[in-house]
Amino acid sequence: MDDRIVVEDLEQLSFRVDRRAYTDDAVAAAEMTKIFDRCWLYVGHESEVPELGSYVSRDVGSRPVVMSRGSDGKIRVFANSCTHRGALICSQPSGQAKSFRCPYHDWTFSNQGDLVGVPIPDGYGPSFRKADFGLAQHQSETYRGFVFVTFDPEQQRTLPEYLAGATDYLDLIDDQSEVGMEVIQGAQLHGARANWKLMMENSVDIYHFRALHKRYVSYMESLGSTPPRRRGGFGSALGLGHGANELPPAAARPLAYWTPMFGEEVRPRIEATAARFVERFGAERAERITGTNRAVLIFPNLMIIDAIAITIRKIDPVGAGQMAITSVALAPKDEDPDIRELRKSHYLTFLGPAGFATPDDIEIVESCQRGYLNRTVRYSDLSRGMNKEVPETTDELPAREFWRQWDRLMRDEESR
């Protein structure tokens, strides 16, 4: 029996994924060492630590970390683990601090990671040096405000090299403001009883939109807006597992693309903003920045959905059959307050965990996970669009790019 999980046949235009990839505990364990311990992983956005001493703590690749802007202004990513006996040195999700104190024995570390305080230091011998016990610092890099970390000491790719063609899409996002983008305060933390890769597939799958999200389609039409069409746009493989779908203007974009669902009172300002983008970038790129809708998958577990509002989703595995999802909204720093409220409303209405779309997506990926328990059907099919030179957004090219990289890493065929 062929033991390959990803089975691609270019002659037959067939691309199949063995459902063991979603259900097998051994596969889930191998992913942590072969993928999450080797890739560049998204930590957060630099706007989340705007001031000296500000920090956020979260799990990245199942490892607790702290992203801190030190008193010297530099952003660092530390292991959230005391170098003495291992307890978390930061238990709050965010805040501002000059130092981090371990609650176990009061070892204290500066916001730059140095060990600065040890109670009863005369209990240690002459070879003990505080300089040897600073917080473990992970290799991190930033691209256009997006902070990534790698746990691989032999990582050979710089972050821009790793991001490959995805840098173009991060540029499109960061160029939406002349003064920078910022994460809107407040995160949605939820999950699903399904494998994490199902949500990665779902997030770049436009084929399901009108079938699964009928309520939202009806809601948009009732407000005079046009939902995404079944045809049109294009899908892209961006290299190293990254992919994107890009749609022509359809849904509302509070940045510089007005539709009736925003109301007439804001139309002049949105159209004036659109004109400024044309002045800055020219008509073609301005249209792409402000008008097109896109879903960008950055391998392995980051999704950026830039449609209606900008949503950053970090999708983390919790064993084979569960996932944890962290979702935040991104917006221009200089956005007018009422436009910001409009953005937040549309973000929550469609992309929030209690919105029109996300509950549909959670329910359907959980349905897939339950369906896999039958085990009679061995493979899932992701062949749609293989017969086209330029696949559309309703085809499955981005998902295939994800699975090709997944397969290379799991089979140790991809260099660091």
| Per-residue pLDDT tens over the stretch 380-395 | 999 999 999 888 888 9
Residue where one domain finishes, among candidates 151, 177, 207 = 151
Residue where one domain finishes, among candidates 86, 121, 151 = 151
Predicted TM-score (pTM) above 0.85: yes
* Partners of 68 in the β-ladder: 55, 76
140 and 101 co-located in one domain: yes
Residue 34 covered by a domain? no
The whole-number average pLDDT for the span 2-11 is 92
178 and 296 co-located in one domain: yes
CA 403 to chain centre: 17
368 and 265 co-located in one domain: yes
Number of separate domains in the chain: 2
Residue 20 covered by a domain? no
CB 196 within 8 A of CB 317: yes
CB count in 10 Å sphere of residue 10:
8
2, with CB counted inside 10 A (0-12, 13-18, 19+), is exposed
89 and 219 co-located in one domain: no
60 and 176 co-located in one domain: no
Assign 3-state DSSP to the chain and report helix, strand, coil percentages, each to 5. Answer: 30, 25, 40
140 and 49 co-located in one domain: yes
The parent domain of residue 68 ranges over 40-151
What is the C-alpha separation between 182 and 328, in angstroms, rounded?
Answer: 10
The whole-number average pLDDT for the span 25-38 is 97
Q: Give, as one character, the DSSP assignment of residue 255.
A: T
Residue 180 covered by a domain? yes
> Mind listing the pLDDT tens digit for each residue in 143-187?
999 999 999 999 999 999 999 999 999 999 999 998 999 999 989
CB count in 10 Å sphere of residue 373:
9
The structure tokens listed for 217 are 């389609």
CA nearest to 55, candidates 64, 42, 66, 44: 66
Residue where one domain finishes, among candidates 151, 180, 200 = 151
The whole-number average pLDDT for the span 53-59 is 97
**Domain harbouring 95, CATH code:** 2.102.10.10
The structure tokens listed for 353 are 């965990």
What is the C-alpha separation between 330 and 391, in angstroms, rounded?
Answer: 29
The structure tokens listed for 375 are 């085990």
132 and 175 co-located in one domain: no
> Mind listing the pLDDT tens digit for each residue in 239-264?
999 999 988 765 556 677 777 777 88
95 and 229 co-located in one domain: no
